[in-house]
Amino acid sequence: MNRRTGVAAPVGIGTVALAVGAPLALAVLEVFHPHVHDLMDVDVRLWLTIHYAQIPLFMLSALAMAALVHGYKGIAPAVCRVALFWFAASYIPFDTAAGVVTGVLVQAARDSGDPGAWRAALETVWAHPIVGGSGTLSPPPVLAVLGAVAWSIGGVAAAIALKRGGHSWAPCLVLVVSAFGLTLFKTHASPGGPFTFGGLAIAAAWLLWERRSRLPAHDIAFLS
């Protein structure tokens, strides 16, 4: 039982699968995320596969961080949960438009036999100030910025809650540093995505190991 939060620290298989498995899967996926120079030249099958997979994995990764503070009470865990909601509410729509929609348009352009006729529509979506994917020639899209900032706030708030809950400094610092990956690298493709979500997976595994190590033996057997 955690004296500060008043809740037990469950470390079941489901918790580990969510808190570690989801961000780890997303980190591996982002290693293969293409870097775009010209959308018309992108590998559409790979592009769409990655962006379809990212839709549930972004949500699951937000839930993974929230799972680390499940049952915790106070301002920090509340801020964490609200921030993660805003991350999902902004970053998933951004990635759907900048990833899935552009991929569908590229595929349609190639199938039409006249790709050049589709370029204006494609570039309109790609350079859109709110849902676009390009931050090279224009400011980063608003939803991407909101999502990245929300993720950083959520990570810092989670680390504060976890440190106050009795965890050691090291995994909490890993969580904080990784939380700024999307903001620092300005992309969820490599290195931003692997840094951010891989860092969360490492921090989560470390934190859950610490939590499990503090449980009485009969509780460990029950939760396994």
The predicted-structure confidence for 149-179, as pLDDT tens digits, reads as follows 999 999 999 999 999 999 999 999 999 999 9
Q: Where are the alpha helices (DSSP H) in the chain?
A: 13-16, 22-31, 44-68, 75-95, 102-112, 119-126, 142-164, 169-178, 181-185, 192-213, 217-223
Is position 173 within any domain?
Answer: yes
Domain count, the chain: 1
Lowest mean pLDDT among 8-17, 23-32, 46-55, 190-199: 8-17
The predicted-structure confidence for 98-135, as pLDDT tens digits, reads as follows 999 999 999 999 999 999 999 999 999 999 999 998 65
pTM for the full model? 0.90
Confidence tier at 54 by pLDDT (50, 70, 90): very high
Is position 190 within any domain?
Answer: yes
For residue 10, what pLDDT is reported?
59
Please, are residues 151 and 83 in contact by the beta-carbon 8 Å criterion? yes
What is the span of the domain harbouring residue 134?
13-223
Is position 3 within any domain?
Answer: no
Nearest to 3 by CA among 172, 165, 208: 165
Is position 35 within any domain?
Answer: yes
What is the token pair recorded at 73? 């009470």
Is position 4 within any domain?
Answer: no
For residue 3, what pLDDT is reported?
43
Average pLDDT over every residue of 21-45: 96
Is position 162 within any domain?
Answer: yes
Is position 8 within any domain?
Answer: no
Residue 223 has pLDDT above 60, yes or no: no
What is the token pair recorded at 204? 């989560």
Lowest mean pLDDT among 42-51, 109-118, 124-133, 136-145: 136-145
Is position 5 within any domain?
Answer: no
